[in-house]
A and B are shown apart, each in its own frame.
Chain A
Amino acid sequence: MSTVTATAAPTKLWGGGKSPFDVEYGKLMMWYFLMSDAFTFGAFLISYGTIRFSSNGWPNPNEVFKSFPFAPEGVHAPLVFVSIMTFILIISSVTMVLAVLAGKQMDKKAVVRNLILTIIGGIAFLSCQAWEWNHLHSEGAWWGANPFLNADGTQSSTNFTNYFFTITGFHGFHVFSGVVINIIMLIMTLMDKFEKRGHYLMIEKAGLYWHFVDLVWVFVFTCFYLI
């Protein structure tokens, strides 16, 4: 194996016989898959924007997402719960990046610890989402049913809830698959698969996916809860 370093002359990078990016193909594919997935989410969010732009009114998110678990009925706490969800995801992203770093240092113990933290973060996020869905459902919101009025007090179409459940659901599905991937990574780490292989590149690819999930949430969070 020709040990190529990133310091190789740039003219030689494209000369063939090696990756022009110094990246093995699996990671490259993961990047391009994520780009493709970005178009999936992009199309969802853009459709949401299109329908919102073509509607005369739209519900005010602060009136809709104002509840908090275990808080007394009628409490008005907009943005609080979703902020917690956002921070959970950011922190789980941090632990993931620490796991990737530990993998590069071949530090199995740190990989295991950080992966476990990431998985816990993912499960916590999913639980929060489950609570929120359940709560909205109990208020009468679901696909095809929207109990909320527009900000100006007029009747709202069902598309607010339609899009909310579809897009957060699709994102939640990604979080779920990310958790599953991370659990598999954890098991493989515990079984010393990567130690034997001599590298933790799989963790890096799983990490890319996990950060992408976090990235999508940045957009979903902004589009649905903030603006």
Chain B
Amino acid sequence: MSSEVALDFHSGVSSLHDTHHSHDEHHHHETFISKYVFSMDHKMIAKQFLITGMFWAVLGGFMSVLFRLQLGYPDSTFPWLEDILGKWAKGGHITPEAYYALVTTHGTVLVFFVLTAGLSGTFANFLIPLQVGARDMASPFMNMLSFWFFFTAGIVMLSSIFVETGPFSGGWTAYPPLSALGDASPGSKTGMDLWIVSMALFVVSSLLGGLNYIATVLNMRTKGMSMTRLPLTIWALFFTAVLGVLSFPVLFSGFILLIFDRNFGTSFYLSDIFVNGAGALPNEGGSAILYQHLFWFLGHPEVYIILLPAMGMVSEILSTNARKPIFGYMAMIGSMFAIAILAFLVWAHHMFVTGLNPFLGSIFVLLTLLIAVPSAIKVFNWLTTLWRGNIRFTPAMLFAIGFVSLFISGGLTGIWLGNSALDIHLHDTYFVIAHFHIVMGVASMFGMFAGIYHWFPKMYGRFLNNTLGYVHFWITIAGAYLIFWPMHYEGLAGMPRRYYDYSIWESFKQFSDLNRFISTVAMIVFATQILFLANFFYSIFKGRKLRTANPWGSNTLEWTTPIKPGHGNWPGEIPEVYRWAYDYGKDGTDFISQTTPVGADESVH
């Protein structure tokens, strides 16, 4: 079927692949709109996801700088804040409402828009067809819709920042009653309506994308590309899509119930509520805990939706730049599979202190701690891949190694938090902040940076500036540890998260210097990311040009395409695959592309 997987995007979902198209002379009329805006080329859609994700990363990151200002300098005023935030920073001091709105939007934007859409949206779109050997996604049209649903979700979320009562401010998890009652806080009014509409659109986007990724990986692999010859990136993105397809609908149901609670007088999540000024509410019989269960049924798989693509890309980049086969290829697949299953079984470990039944809690502890097994397998496989490798420290490789480091340090604290007894002390403290920022936030960002540095040449036919890449890496890794490492101590001391001002608390006054230090580093790291963006956009137009099609000496299929592949990826036939993706340094050969037939006297791996 390889050559018949035609680009028949004119007939939509219904089209069969046996309709013949001659893609060799596939020069249909392309306008600016069809090439750059409503594009159905997976590579262009990937770039759209990436750049939209970057916009949100800058916005979400800037928000963290703003609330870190409040946390680091609670007594100072910054008149320029009033210039940009208006009444939300009267007299140059962020108001409590604005602080909570910033924290909430930072979380929502980073988790969903940057690390879900920006990460798996970009790389699943870019890499799946290129690495499995397909001309495009199964349904390019649905792929385009997926991006535009995401874009619209972004517009709605952005508009919520500008409404009179401000964006939603009840935390990114949007627990009721703060999310269900408009009277609960200013942000619970229009801001929450827009938040929920935006998230519903986002769910649609990720379902459209996820179904497409699954169908493409299963159905459209080129000849010879069996599942066990797939690069680990594809396996990771495949599991990511499966997680999304199975868990986002549960969140969607939870949101629908929430919409009814907000607007139609139901009480799915409401019971025994007394609102200041409004008195006792008539809503009875619901359970706010139910929302948390539904939310975390998505929420926990969501952290693996964020993490798995990074893991996959890091595996690929480590192996390529260590010039060694990935260690334990099948174990890597198995552990990702185990992680994907366990992701659905552990959600209530986010809820140990909600009054969750302790017996049920103990089962969740057991299942949670089981995740340590596949995670450890992966870590050891990465380390053994590096061991005695002929390592090339490209910026992508540095970020990949940084990912491993962060995944270890963040993952270990997960074992602490997975214990329901320890969680009584640690729940909702800065320890949790430190844990999930390192293991999920920063680590996945590192995976994303690694991916961008590694595949930028394929995306734009030019290199990113190496020196700036090294500067970017070293400041970011040092900064990440300097920001989040001290938070472990604050958390162990009991410092709760989401407080507006710690200086008024006798117990937490001691941390005011530390908080100021963290804030300062956060600003430096944020500025460094701007440097990266400058590098990115400069290099698109002025970067060093690619001279060979395969700059990293990589085995995977995307490097067999021309330097600037057109729509359809391969000018002629799609190459056939004869081997797995990790034949580095085999029989004294530096690398053997997947398209090279197995020689007669080759050793068997």
Do A and B interact? Answer: yes
Question: Are A43's CB and B297's CB within 8 A?
Answer: yes
B contact face: mostly helix, strand, loop, or mixed: helix
A1-B21 Cα distance, complex, nearest whole Å:
12
Asked if B527 lies at the interface with its beta carbon under 8 angstroms from chain A, I say no
A24-B14 Cα distance, complex, nearest whole Å:
10
Asked if A83 lies at the interface with its beta carbon under 8 angstroms from chain B, I say no
User: Which one of A2, A158, A170 contacts B1 once the chains associate, using CB atoms below 8 Å?
Assistant: A2
When distances are taken between beta carbons in the complex, the residues of chain B under 8 Å from A50 are: 287, 290, 293
When distances are taken between beta carbons in the complex, the residues of chain A under 8 Å from B247 are: 39
Asked if A77 lies at the interface with its beta carbon under 8 angstroms from chain B, I say no
Asked if B2 lies at the interface with its beta carbon under 8 angstroms from chain A, I say yes
Most B-side CB within 10 Å, residue of A15, A43, A144, A199: A43
CB distance from A147 to the nearest CB of B (A): 15
Q: Would you list which residues of chain A between 193 and 218 have a CB under 8 Å from chain B?
A: 197, 199, 201-202, 205
User: Which one of B227, B264, B265 contacts A14 once the chains associate, using CB atoms below 8 Å?
Assistant: B227
User: Which one of A1, A15, A170, A205 contacts B256 once the chains associate, using CB atoms below 8 Å?
Assistant: A170
User: Which one of A24, A33, A51 contacts B16 once the chains associate, using CB atoms below 8 Å?
Assistant: A24
When distances are taken between beta carbons in the complex, the residues of chain A under 8 Å from B264 are: 143-144
Given contacts A16-B222, A166-B256, contact A159 B1 (CB under 8 A): no
Q: Would you list which residues of chain A between 5 and 52 have a CB under 8 Å from chain B?
A: 14-21, 23-26, 28-29, 32-33, 35-37, 39-44, 47, 50-51
Question: Are B294's CB and A47's CB within 8 A?
Answer: yes
Given contacts A29-B211, A51-B268, A51-B286, contact A162 B260 (CB under 8 A): yes
A4-B2 Cα distance, complex, nearest whole Å:
13
Question: Are A32's CB and B211's CB within 8 A?
Answer: yes
Asked if A157 lies at the interface with its beta carbon under 8 angstroms from chain B, I say yes
A162-B258 Cα distance, complex, nearest whole Å:
12
Asked if B225 lies at the interface with its beta carbon under 8 angstroms from chain A, I say yes
Question: Are A36's CB and B246's CB within 8 A?
Answer: yes
A7-B258 Cα distance, complex, nearest whole Å:
50
When distances are taken between beta carbons in the complex, the residues of chain B under 8 Å from A26 are: 13-16, 139
When distances are taken between beta carbons in the complex, the residues of chain A under 8 Å from B207 are: 33, 36
Given contacts A25-B139, A50-B293, contact A144 B267 (CB under 8 A): yes
Question: Are A40's CB and B253's CB within 8 A?
Answer: yes
User: Which one of A21, A29, A202 contacts B139 once the chains associate, using CB atoms below 8 Å?
Assistant: A29
* Interface size bracket, A side: 35 or more
A197-B285 Cα distance, complex, nearest whole Å:
55
CB distance from B581 to the nearest CB of A (A): 13
Question: Are A24's CB and B17's CB within 8 A?
Answer: yes
A37-B252 Cα distance, complex, nearest whole Å:
10
When distances are taken between beta carbons in the complex, the residues of chain B under 8 Å from A170 are: 256
Question: Are B18's CB and A159's CB within 8 A?
Answer: no
Asked if A54 lies at the interface with its beta carbon under 8 angstroms from chain B, I say yes
Which of the candidate stretches B53-61, B212-220, B450-458 sits at the interface with the other chain? Answer: B212-220
Asked if B349 lies at the interface with its beta carbon under 8 angstroms from chain A, I say no
List the B residue with the shortest CB-CB distance to A146: B285
A26-B1 Cα distance, complex, nearest whole Å:
16
Asked if A105 lies at the interface with its beta carbon under 8 angstroms from chain B, I say no
List the A residue with the shortest CB-CB distance to B224: A16
CB distance from A11 to the nearest CB of B (A): 9
Asked if B245 lies at the interface with its beta carbon under 8 angstroms from chain A, I say yes
When distances are taken between beta carbons in the complex, the residues of chain B under 8 Å from A32 are: 211, 214-215, 245
Asked if B510 lies at the interface with its beta carbon under 8 angstroms from chain A, I say no
A25-B1 Cα distance, complex, nearest whole Å:
13
Asked if A55 lies at the interface with its beta carbon under 8 angstroms from chain B, I say yes
CB distance from A206 to the nearest CB of B (A): 10
Asked if B106 lies at the interface with its beta carbon under 8 angstroms from chain A, I say no
Question: Are B267's CB and A158's CB within 8 A?
Answer: yes
When distances are taken between beta carbons in the complex, the residues of chain B under 8 Å from A33 are: 207, 211
Question: Are A166's CB and B221's CB within 8 A?
Answer: no
CB distance from B13 to the nearest CB of A (A): 5
When distances are taken between beta carbons in the complex, the residues of chain A under 8 Å from B211 are: 29, 32-33, 36
A224-B16 Cα distance, complex, nearest whole Å:
41
When distances are taken between beta carbons in the complex, the residues of chain B under 8 Å from A36 are: 207, 211, 245-246, 248-249
When distances are taken between beta carbons in the complex, the residues of chain A under 8 Å from B250 are: 39-40, 42-43
A81-B104 Cα distance, complex, nearest whole Å:
48
Asked if B577 lies at the interface with its beta carbon under 8 angstroms from chain A, I say yes
Query: Beyond the given A20-B218, A26-B13, A50-B287, could you list 18 further A-B residue pairs with CB under 8 A, ordered by the A residue number?
Result: A16-B221, A16-B224, A25-B138, A25-B139, A28-B215, A29-B214, A32-B245, A40-B252, A43-B252, A43-B254, A47-B268, A55-B285, A157-B285, A159-B266, A162-B260, A162-B267, A162-B268, A201-B14
Ordered by A's residue number, 15 sampled pairs between the chains whose C-beta atoms are within 8 Å are A4-B1, A17-B576, A18-B219, A23-B219, A24-B16, A25-B139, A26-B13, A26-B16, A39-B247, A39-B249, A39-B250, A43-B254, A50-B287, A51-B285, A158-B284
